[in-house]
């Protein structure tokens, strides 16, 4: 058997409700609709309101290891196919990727002219950098604007197949017994803001909020890892900032070590981010997530240290999100045990944008065809936690 199966006798569902309007839910809805299934996406705030709207959108062909490796390779190719299909509407492009060591000067000074020469460095990286290593090329790394990608998928799914997005909070799942009092149950709908939305399939793609759902919570703890970010626009010659993604080993002037990242975007904006441990409060409302005090200012300082082009900028956004992590650091993808018609897709950590297309396609195949043929989902089976 190449992959886990949904049920022995497959009855193609009529209506699927996808809980969660992030990138995993959007990809699942898109591929379900492509298979001819009616889909409603239920989202509490708005599409891509959490990590899918605030992540960096970096894609890598061969950076994931273990069971996620093959899923990532498939998903990277699906990103290529989707970009070819949709055109240049969400910032997809192939990129160069570098690792840099940066030691912050103890005395403030202009970045220009400080760098140690390296043939692999573009001109705009002129700060005190060393230890330059190539981590990826346009053959193996790429990027998207995650919010635009998520919105595009749902817009196209709506235009082509009538996929609907319903704003509201999923409060519970409606279930009914199958065949008798002791037989397994089956979902028949979800309760959204007090009203029942009928469905014969429900997919939970709730990211770090998965553990707040009573059905998904029993499949292991999904925790949130906080990531702060700023989006800036250089005020001078933004076109000089090339498609080089930077992964930094950064030492501050007081000796602290961090690993911030810098992603220039084709729009001329530059995204800077850093994971923040110890700030783990996850509010019920994604729009109530705030940045960790001091981190946006630190990220601006990182940019100005690495490049004089990032010293004079306009701040576009300061934001934060939580990345969903499973307790064994492997995504949770597949049917909910002992509840027919219920599926879960979460726990992708920092690789949610990358692995969303393959996850969505595999879940759609599992639901529509009874088996995921594009990927082996056994390592991700939610039953491993039961």
Confidence at residue 278, expressed as pLDDT on a 0 to 100 scale? 76
* Cβ-Cβ contacts under 8 Å for 62 (sequence gap 6 or more): 69, 72, 73, 140
pLDDT at 354 over 50: yes
Q: Which residues pair with 229 in a beta bridge?
A: 273, 319
pLDDT tens track for 289-305: 999 999 999 999 999 99
| 8: confidence class by pLDDT, cuts 50, 70, 90 | very low
Helix, strand or coil, per DSSP, at residue 211? helix
The C-alpha atoms of residue 182 and residue 268 are separated, in whole angstroms, by 60
- Tally Cβ neighbours within 10 Å of residue 338: 13
How many Cα atoms sit within 13 Å of 309 on the Cβ side? 18
pLDDT at 9 over 80: no
pTM of the complete model: 0.94
Confidence at residue 180, expressed as pLDDT on a 0 to 100 scale? 62
- Tally Cβ neighbours within 10 Å of residue 7: 13
The pLDDT mean for the chain works out to: 92
Confidence at residue 153, expressed as pLDDT on a 0 to 100 scale? 98
How many Cα atoms sit within 13 Å of 229 on the Cβ side? 27
Task: Convert 47-112 into a string of H (helix), E (strand) and C (coil).
Answer: CCCCHHHHCCCEEECCCCCCCHHHHHHHHHHHHHHHHHHHCCCCCCEECEEEEEEEECCCCCCCCC
Q: Which residues pair with 94 in a beta bridge?
A: 142
| 119: confidence class by pLDDT, cuts 50, 70, 90 | low
The C-alpha atoms of residue 93 and residue 267 are separated, in whole angstroms, by 11
Confidence at residue 215, expressed as pLDDT on a 0 to 100 scale? 84
Q: What is the DSSP string of 172-202?
A: EEEEEESSSTTSPEEEEEEEETTEEEE-SEE
Helix axes 23-34, 146-161, angle to 10 degrees: 30
Buried b or exposed e, range 111-150, using 16+ CB within 10 angstroms: beeebeeeeebeebbbbbbeebeeebeeebbbbbbbbbbb
Q: What is the DSSP letter of 291?
A: P
pLDDT at 120 over 90: no
Tell me the helices (H) and strands (E) count for the chain, helix number first: 7, 21
pLDDT tens track for 162-196: 999 999 999 999 999 887 655 579 999 999 999 99
Confidence at residue 334, expressed as pLDDT on a 0 to 100 scale? 97
Which of 218, 186, 183 shows the shortest CA–CA distance to 199? 186
pLDDT at 112 over 60: no
The C-alpha atoms of residue 268 and residue 341 are separated, in whole angstroms, by 44
| 226: confidence class by pLDDT, cuts 50, 70, 90 | very high
DSSP-H helix ranges across the chain: 23-34, 51-54, 68-86, 146-161, 214-217, 295-306, 352-369
Decide if 47 contacts 152 (C-beta within 8 A). no
Q: Region 14-29: what's the mean pLDDT? A: 97
Cα 361 to the center of its chain, rounded Å: 15
The C-alpha atoms of residue 36 and residue 215 are separated, in whole angstroms, by 27
The C-alpha atoms of residue 261 and residue 126 are separated, in whole angstroms, by 16
Q: What is the DSSP letter of 138?
A: T
């Amino acid at each position: 058997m190449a992959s886990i199966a949904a049920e022995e006798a497959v009855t193609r569902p009529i209506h699927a409700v996808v809980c969660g309007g992030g990138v995993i839910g959007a990809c699942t809805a898109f591929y379900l609709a492509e298979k001819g299934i009616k889909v409603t996406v239920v989202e509490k705030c708005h599409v891509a309101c959490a990590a899918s709207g605030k992540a960096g959108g970096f894609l890598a062909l061969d950076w994931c290891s273990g069971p996620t490796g093959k899923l990532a390779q498939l998903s990277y190719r699906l990103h290529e196919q989707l970009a070819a299909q949709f055109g240049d509407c969400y910032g997809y492009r192939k990129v160069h990727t570098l690792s840099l060591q940066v030691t912050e000067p103890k005395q403030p000074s202009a970045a220009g002219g400080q760098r140690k020469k390296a043939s692999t460095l573009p001109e705009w990286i002129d700060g005190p950098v060393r230890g330059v290593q190539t981590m990826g090329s346009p053959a193996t790394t790429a990027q998207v604007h995650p919010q635009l990608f998520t919105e595009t998928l749902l817009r196209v799914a709506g235009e082509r197949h009538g996929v609907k997005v319903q704003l509201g909070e999923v409060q519970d799942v409606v279930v009914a017994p199958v065949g008798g009092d002791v037989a397994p149950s089956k979902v028949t709908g979800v309760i959204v803001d007090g009203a029942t939305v009928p469905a014969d399939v429900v997919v939970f793609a709730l990211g770090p909020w998965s553990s707040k759902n009573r059905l998904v919570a029993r499949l292991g703890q999904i925790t949130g890892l906080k990531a702060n970010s700023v989006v800036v626009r250089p005020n001078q010659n933004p076109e000089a900032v090339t498609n080089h993604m930077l992964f930094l080993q950064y030492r501050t002037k007081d000796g602290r070590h961090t690993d911030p990242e810098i992603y220039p975007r084709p729009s001329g904006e530059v995204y800077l981010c850093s994971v923040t441990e110890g700030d783990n409060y996850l509010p019920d409302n994604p729009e109530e997530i705030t940045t960790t005090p001091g981190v946006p200012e630190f990220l601006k300082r990182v940019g100005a240290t690495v490049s004089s082009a990032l010293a004079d900028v306009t701040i576009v956004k300061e934001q934060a999100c939580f990345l969903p992590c499973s307790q064994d650091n492997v995504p949770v993808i597949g049917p909910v045990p002992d509840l027919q018609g219920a599926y879960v897709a979460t726990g992708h950590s920092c690789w949610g944008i990358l692995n969303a297309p393959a996850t969505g396609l595999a879940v759609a195949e599992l639901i529509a065809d009874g088996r995921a043929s594009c990927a082996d989902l056994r390592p991700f089976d939610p039953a491993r936690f039961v």
